[in-house]
Amino acid sequence: MQAARVHGLAGDRRVLFWACRAGRRSGLHGVSENEKEDELRGQWESPNVLCLVYDVTNEQSFSNCSKWLEKARSQVPGTSLPGVLVGNKTDLAGRRAVDAAQAHEWALGQGLEFFETSVKDTKNYEAPFQCLARQFHQLYREKVEVFHALA
């Protein structure tokens, strides 16, 4: 899985981004499973919002999203973890293996927003990030309200 933290939005707030692929974690090649887990643990510590990306032509990449969602949520027990599920590669319609309705239903059941994109064709690629920004901003406003209530 690829993981990247995005800093600078509001101090220590983090956006967690996972690209779900079939059985491997890109960007962490050549190290043992334990080293991969250690590397990832530092990347997903206390996420505020989550973006899960799967390949619409690969059923296994979609199936992996459940595992990664569970791992990410385990980092913030007792709190909600808003986010998005993104099906990418819609330009490969003839090779589609994951039905959009199935993915949408799963996302809603997990409390995630759902999007499909084609980064190659630059279709709808901005919408998930705009949604994440709105979700993050909502979390920020809620924290500000709590601080004002304490004052």
CATH of residue 44? 3.40.50.300
| pLDDT recorded at residue 40 | 58
| pLDDT recorded at residue 116 | 96
| pLDDT recorded at residue 30 | 34
- 53: helix, strand or coil: strand
How many domains are contained in the chain? 1
Output the CA–CA distances (angstroms, integers) from residue 60 to 20, 29, 55, 78, 88, in the order listed: 9, 19, 9, 29, 14
Roughly how many angstroms between the first and final C-alpha of the chain, as a whole number?
A: 42
51 contacts: CB under 8 Å, gap ≥ 6: 15, 16, 17, 18, 83, 84, 86, 128, 129, 132
- Is this model's pTM higher than 0.95 or not? no
State the residue range of the domain holding 144: 2-150
Tens digit of pLDDT per residue, the chain (151 long)? 333 333 223 333 344 454 444 444 333 333 334 455 555 556 666 778 889 999 999 999 999 999 889 888 888 887 788 999 999 999 999 999 999 999 999 999 999 999 999 989 999 989 999 999 999 999 889 989 998 898 7
| pLDDT recorded at residue 56 | 95
Output the CA–CA distances (angstroms, integers) from residue 11 to 6, 8, 14, 31, 49, in the order listed: 10, 6, 9, 31, 14
